[in-house]
Amino acid sequence: MRPADKSGKAKANTRAAAAALRMLPSVDECLRAAESDGALGAIGRGWRVELLRSALAQVRTRLAAGACEPAESRERIAALVIAQARAALASDEPRLRAVVNGAGVVLHTNLGRALLAESAIDAIAAAARAPVNLEYDLDSGGRGERDTIVEGDLCALTGAEAATVVNNNAAALLIALNTLANGREAIVSRGELIEIGGSFRLPELMAQSGARLREVGTTNRTHPADYVGAIGPDTAMLLKVHPSNYRIVGFTTAVELGELAAIGRAHRLPVAEDLGAGAMIDLSRYGLPHEPIVAERIAAGADLVTFSGDKLLGGPQAGIVAGRRELIDRIRRNPLKRALRCDKLTLAALAATLRIYRREDEPAELIPALRMLRRNPAELEEIAQAARAVLAGRLDSGFGIEVIESAAEIGSGAQPAEQIESRALRITHPERSADAIAAMFRRARPPVIGRIRDGAFMIDLRAIEDASALAVTFPP
Ligand X SMILES: *Cc1c(COP(=O)(O)O)cnc(C)c1O
- Which positions lie near ligand X, rule CB under 6 A? 168-170, 196, 200, 241-242, 244, 274, 276-277, 308, 319, 412-413
Q: Compare residues 82 and 241 and give the one whose CB is closer to ligand X.
A: 241
In the bound state with ligand X, the residue whose beta carbon lies nearer, of 307 and 357, is 307
Tell me the longest C-alpha to C-alpha distance in the chain. 96
Question: What is the gyration radius of the CA atoms in the chain, in angstroms?
Answer: 29
Q: How far is the CB of 309 from ligand X (least distance, A)?
A: 7
Smaller CB distance to ligand X: residue 151 or 291?
291
Which CB atom, from 271 or from 456, has the smaller least distance to ligand X?
Answer: 271
**386 residue type, one letter:** A
Q: Which is nearer to ligand X, 226 or 274 (CB)?
A: 274
Residue count of the chain: 476
Rounded CA separation 346/365 (Å): 21
What Cα–Cα distance (Å) separates residue 388 from each residue in 61, 82, 263, 325? 46, 42, 57, 53
Q: How far is CA 384 from CA 21, 199, 225, 401, 458, in A?
A: 56, 35, 53, 10, 12
Q: Which of 317, 340, 298, 300 is nearest to 412 (CA)?
A: 317
Shortest Å, Cβ 207 to ligand X: 15
Angle (CA) 221-231-174 rounded to 5° is 80
Cβ closest to ligand X, residue 350 vs residue 387: 350
Cα 223 to Cα 239: distance, rounded to the nearest angstrom: 14
Strand partners for 195: 201
Q: How far is the CB of 370 from ligand X (least distance, A)?
A: 18
Residue with smallest beta-carbon separation from ligand X: 276
Q: What is the CB neighbour count within 10 angstroms for residue 433?
A: 14
What sign does the CA torsion over 442, 444, 446, 451 have?
A: negative
CA angle 68/70/75 to nearest 5° reads 105
**Least distance (Å) between residue 351 CB and ligand X:** 18
Contact 398, 430 (CB under 8 A): yes
| Number of Cβ atoms within 10 Å of the Cβ of 167 | 19
* Closer CB to ligand X, 147 or 274, in the complex: 274
Which residue number, 186 or 383, has a Cβ lying nearer to ligand X? 186
Q: Which is nearer to ligand X, 114 or 440 (CB)?
A: 114
Cα–Cα distance, 100 to 450 (Å, whole number)? 8
Q: How far is the CB of 69 from ligand X (least distance, A)?
A: 54
Taking the complex as a whole, the smallest distance from the CB of residue 278 to ligand X amounts, in Å, to 8
Q: Under 8 Å CB-to-CB from 28, ≥6 apart: which residues?
A: none
Alpha-carbon dihedral angle through residues 448, 452, 456, 460, given to the nearest 10 degrees: -50
Q: At closest approach, how far in Å is the CB of 173 from ligand X?
A: 6
Q: How far is the CB of 274 from ligand X (least distance, A)?
A: 5
CB of 244 to ligand X, least distance (A): 3
In the complex, the smallest distance separating the C-beta of residue 242 from ligand X, rounded to whole angstroms, is 5
Cβ proximity to ligand X, 350 vs 380, nearer residue: 350
